[in-house]
Structure 1
């Protein structure tokens, strides 16, 4: 089972200043285990007479584009700026879902295997032990710990040869997007070996006039320390973090002014294969299995399988991706689908597939939407949803139920109209697309794209975790999205 504890990129504990708050980019901005909302249902607000009234009241800079269409016929019921190419942000993941389902198949599971190149005698492998990744983007420390425990039950104690790791099932990509700060956890590296969404847990506690620091790969039941990622406190105001990748290690510094009395956050890992190999070795040592330091290999040695971890089947992997908007899952699934060696080429391969399969002129720079270069019009996005629905491609059942909302943006409990959709957020970009399904009435698809790309691009990279004015802009956009959906459900359902 996938462990979700602490996967948010932002801080998990108190004693921090606003500069260390969670990012306003497409990240998992809700608790992994949300507390059910209590209280009585909230009455819906009166429907505005025109969509333009709602758009004007939102006071958004940039462009507001949308299309509402009949899900069965594709007939457009309402539209605005429908042909304008817009950044889709994480709505891209809905397209990636369709792409992965077609190219990988619903039965696909990502495998992480442990191989032995020689026989095991007296608990010792007479040869090398190999950790071979299969590109699983969901693997967590607890799963790796259970794998090691199973190996110990089988009698494994050590090896006569080397401990090797292979991450070549997917290309090694140092980060999803180049235009994000180094320290944001939603912009990790990608490879054939991925652990904890390629994030390491950084925790600090005040200790006299200094701080006690730790780096670990914690799960719910296993908390292995990590040595290949180092953190030092620097007596300065800014920048909050600095990062440098070395040969076999990653070095961070953090500004003392940002630490307060204590706290924690997840930071991205840029050497994911080495990271996972070290964690595996540490977990093995705790089970009495002695392994040498891991060595990378460019091809998988032949050997017998001693153990494996299987991911959930692809539809469940994609459902979780759509729910929590995990960028690494989207990129791993997209790269596995295209077989390309570079992320840009993989994005182009998905672009070509979308144009051939659904038509239109959409263009995707990646599979997660984290980069700002992707473009799609509301017309093209709605057309993808209509055709995917007609062809039974399986996207709709995987989308999250976002619910009908009142004028303040709160979900109306028990509302008879169901709204399933994928959202997307970047600085000064907010998108939402999906299905409106009333009980017994006309089902509709919609695509709402709001964005001010020029304003987003003007934000310095160092400020993109919490860009001034972006939160308020996004809040107004999300309110507008809810109001438009409420209006459409009332008028056309």
Structure 2
């Protein structure tokens, strides 16, 4: 009886083993204690090529951005643009004097840049404005400052050593980050020359601790943005060779709306447009009767999504998610709710928890089956699919160099999005499309989560076996 019982159990489990065999190499991570959810299938035939607990709810990290991309395309379409305005209740008089405040109405453009602010400045000058007898006000009434709900962003208010933890505002510029340029002095031993990237006038404080060294001595720079009583300060240390080219360093600002105000004010003054009362920030919507004096449009949404997903830009992803919320003053919880509402309309998706569009929030949860359901839904929408799939990376040609591994088959037959978290547990997640040797389209997802007791997990441990498993599927069909 025990032998017959064992045989019966094995027969019942055969379908599960057959499915899991498609991810035989990836599945070995389970032996080390990692939690895995994986699924791969062909789209037109529906044939299942492999699965490991595909319904298991796991953290997708930045694979969350494919949900954001799909929801944004569904809401606005590929050619949508965000508009930023300079408005005022006053008109310039014959002498070019604006008797009133000048308001930057932040339109939620996730890729608003210094170049855009400079174009606004030139168009304001073209409109005849030469002086503002009032204040420059940056209005972030749509959203901002957005409450931080992740450790990285909360800590970034006071000090930060990266750009990816940038805080959020509908009037943020340059992905919410300051930029300084470090160049060598003419003589070794002298302090390096450090200036703002966007203005000759100082718009962020600089604490210069970089020493110029002789030719070919090497360049090693460290930078941290700290908030002091005087405002944001970029503390830069290290060395730079006399024959080195200037280096640009980006660090998240403590307040993206105030960063925009300081940057635009410097540009106005550089263009000869004086502002009597300086710059400030407001959360109040400009009056309906305010007239637009200058405006600038963003790149089309399909271009924004390419930048967002290719570079896994957290600032852009969460800005776009916040724009999905209809009511003003939204936070990331509401933005996640808008994404969940979109997912609820997807066939066969199943449960999902999204607290951000970026995936920085460790509470995000979905399943491998959910990710492939989303990918299939976009494949079935021919008007949106080209823009959606173009935002993913080909391992052979993508900007993320760590993807350039595996065989030529994996390199050239796969388009994917990755996700990485290291706290509170290690997360390595991948989802995307593949084309088989016979030209069939397939979808796949692999979510690997650590636990408090699992060892460190690097991308080689996930990508190498996953690439081998996908290569076998691609070659077999």
**What is the TM-score of this pair, normalised by structure 2?**
0.77
Determine the structure 1 residue equivalent to 2:232.
250
Q: How far did 1:166 drift?
A: 0.7
Give the Cα separation in 1 of the matches to 2:38 and 2:410.
23
Give the Cα separation in 2 of the matches to 1:232 and 1:349.
44
Contact kept? 2:140, 2:171, Cα under 8 Å: yes
Give the Cα separation in 2 of the matches to 1:409 and 1:278.
41
- Greater alpha carbon shift after TM alignment, 281-290 vs 259-268: 259-268
Question: Which runs of 5 or more residues in structure 2 are unaligned?
Answer: 1-20, 211-221, 242-246
Question: Which runs of 5 or more residues in structure 1 are unaligned?
Answer: 1-48, 457-467
Contact kept? 1:424, 1:431, Cα under 8 Å: yes
CA gap 1:192/1:61 in 2 versus in 1, 3 angstroms: same
Q: 1:96 aligns with which of 61, 64, 68?
A: 68
Contact kept? 2:27, 2:52, Cα under 8 Å: no
Q: How far did 1:110 drift?
A: 0.9
**What is the count of residue pairs matched by the alignment?**
418
Q: Which has the higher helix share?
A: 2
Q: How far did 1:294 drift?
A: 1.1
Determine the structure 2 residue equivalent to 1:194.
172
SS of structure 2 residue aligned to 1:357? coil
Contact kept? 1:120, 1:126, Cα under 8 Å: yes
Matched, 1:273 2:257: yes
Give the Cα separation in 1 of the matches to 2:407 and 2:47.
28
Matched, 1:350 2:339: yes
Q: How far did 1:486 drift?
A: 1.4
Contact kept? 2:98, 2:129, Cα under 8 Å: yes
Give the Cα separation in 2 of the matches to 1:59 and 1:214.
51
- Greater alpha carbon shift after TM alignment, 197-206 vs 76-85: 197-206
Contact kept? 2:25, 2:466, Cα under 8 Å: no
Contact kept? 1:409, 1:478, Cα under 8 Å: no
Give the Cα separation in 2 of the matches to 1:250 and 1:228.
6
Contact kept? 2:106, 2:171, Cα under 8 Å: yes
Determine the structure 2 residue equivalent to 1:339.
326
After superposition, residues 195-274 of structure 1 pair within 5 angstroms as 195-202=173-180, 214=194, 216=196, 218=197, 222-229=198-205, 231=207, 241=224, 243-244=226-227, 249-251=231-233, 259-261=238-240, 265-274=249-258
After superposition, residues 275-294 of structure 1 pair within 5 angstroms as 275-291=259-275, 292-294=277-279
Matched, 1:419 2:414: yes
Contact kept? 1:322, 1:398, Cα under 8 Å: no
CA gap 1:148/1:270 in 2 versus in 1, 3 angstroms: same
Matched, 1:481 2:457: no
- Greater alpha carbon shift after TM alignment, 315-324 vs 387-396: 387-396
After superposition, residues 54-203 of structure 1 pair within 5 angstroms as 55-56=27-28, 62-121=34-93, 122-173=95-146, 175=148, 177-179=150-152, 182=156, 183=160, 184-202=162-180
User: What's the RMSD between the two structures over aligned residues?
Assistant: 3.4
Contact kept? 1:64, 1:450, Cα under 8 Å: yes
Q: How far did 1:116 drift?
A: 2.8
Q: How far did 1:179 drift?
A: 4.2
Residues 170-225 of structure 1, C-alpha deviations (whole Å, 9 max, x = no match): 23225473246631210111111111101002455788888557462x2xxx5454
Give the structure, 1 or 2, with the largest relative contact order (CA under 8 Å, sep 6 or more): 1
